[in-house]
Amino acid sequence: MYQTTTSLDISRRPRRLRTSSTIRQLVCETTLTPQKLVMPLFIIEGRCNREPIDSMPGQSRLSIDLALDECRQAIELGVRAFALFPALDASKKTPRADEGLNPDNLLCEATRTIKDAIEECCVITDIALDPYSSLGHDGLIDKDGTVNNDETVEILAQMAVLHAEAGADIVAPSDMMDGRVGAIRTALDEANYTSTLILSYTAKYASSFYGPFRDALDSAPADAPNVPKDKRTYQMDPANSREASIEAQLDIDEGADMLMVKPALPYLDVIARLRAQTNLPIAAYNVSGEYAMIKAAAQNGWLDERACTMEVLTSIARAGADFILTYSAMDYARWWREDHQL
């Protein structure tokens, strides 16, 4: 073995802080616990009903009873917050998303059931029209093919109140309509739901990473005359970051309690930007496409799923996210418990 007596004349040796596992943990700058994760759940009708999602290995659409079981398992691992998304049968979808204002719709029923059964959990509900729309858009579509911002906002505000009545702790407008946070806050307050929080999808980009999610909900824009082929007139341009600061300030002024960046990995700079801009909690959504990429690579033996997932989620937290919506929540929680010998 090669040996030398040469010693460099340097006073700072950063490697000293990496000498052992104990020291590395002692000086670790970012710690992401399972309590900082939110588990998305896709809800379907029926009982004992599980439909695997081909484009999201390991994920399924679940009937409410099975979703409740998943919540209980997650809570045992330290994951206590759940984001619910309804996967409706096409027969319940209309151009005006009427089912979204049904107080007994699938999402409201799921919210009531989970909150009644698990008092200590946090339920986050999606405020948008696309799960209920036969046209696949987050807003109402006028005859000329434009998305009607103001009329959509009126419906979103009503939807938020229905979700609060069902027991939602947090309502999360994901539509990117202008002015919806203020309208929702006013509607909630007037209905005496002053404690219901608003998690605004502040910087939701017109991303190519949503494909598997749209498979899960069958919520892609419809291929029909006078229906926009994409969502670029309301979701943000992936080339823009300063625009996120404008959206954030508007949401803050309108009464948002928390801000979200979606997707997470391609927009770590935006997470960091908003973290520097506000003291409000920042969320990030580790979206379906990000999840599916690691899953596919791991299945092919190209990546270590556990190591890559933990690295990805830690990087999102390092960028400034206070909590993360991720389909890997349960896996991460198990791995974290193993690493910490709990």
User: What pLDDT score does 7 carry?
Assistant: 84
146-156, pLDDT tens digit by residue?
A: 999 999 999 99
Annotation says 262 is catalytic:
yes
Domain annotation for the chain: domains and CATH numbers: 32-339 (3.20.20.70)
Cα distances from 226 to residues 96, 135, 142, 229, 230, in angstroms, run 15, 10, 8, 9, 12
Maximum distance among all Cα pairs of the chain, rounded to whole angstroms: 81
Tell me whether residue 215 is exposed, middle or buried, using C-beta atoms within 10 angstroms of its C-beta: 0 to 12, 13 to 18, 19 or more: middle
Query: Following DSSP, what letter does each residue of 180-234 receive, concatenated?
Result: HHHHHHHHHHHTT-TT-EEEEEEEEB--STTHHHHHHHT-SPP--TTS-SSSTTT
User: What pLDDT score does 23 carry?
Assistant: 92
* 260 in Cβ contact with 203 (< 8 Å): yes
Catalytic member of 93, 231, 262, 295: 262
The DSSP letter of residue 94 is B
Annotation says 231 is catalytic:
no
User: What pLDDT score does 72 carry?
Assistant: 97
Q: Which residues of the chain have pLDDT under 70?
A: 1-5, 342
User: What pLDDT score does 6 carry?
Assistant: 77
User: What pLDDT score does 341 carry?
Assistant: 78
Q: Looking up tokens 């002015």, which residue turns up?
A: 179
User: What pLDDT score does 3 carry?
Assistant: 66
Catalytic member of 92, 204, 231, 295: 204
User: What pLDDT score does 60 carry?
Assistant: 97
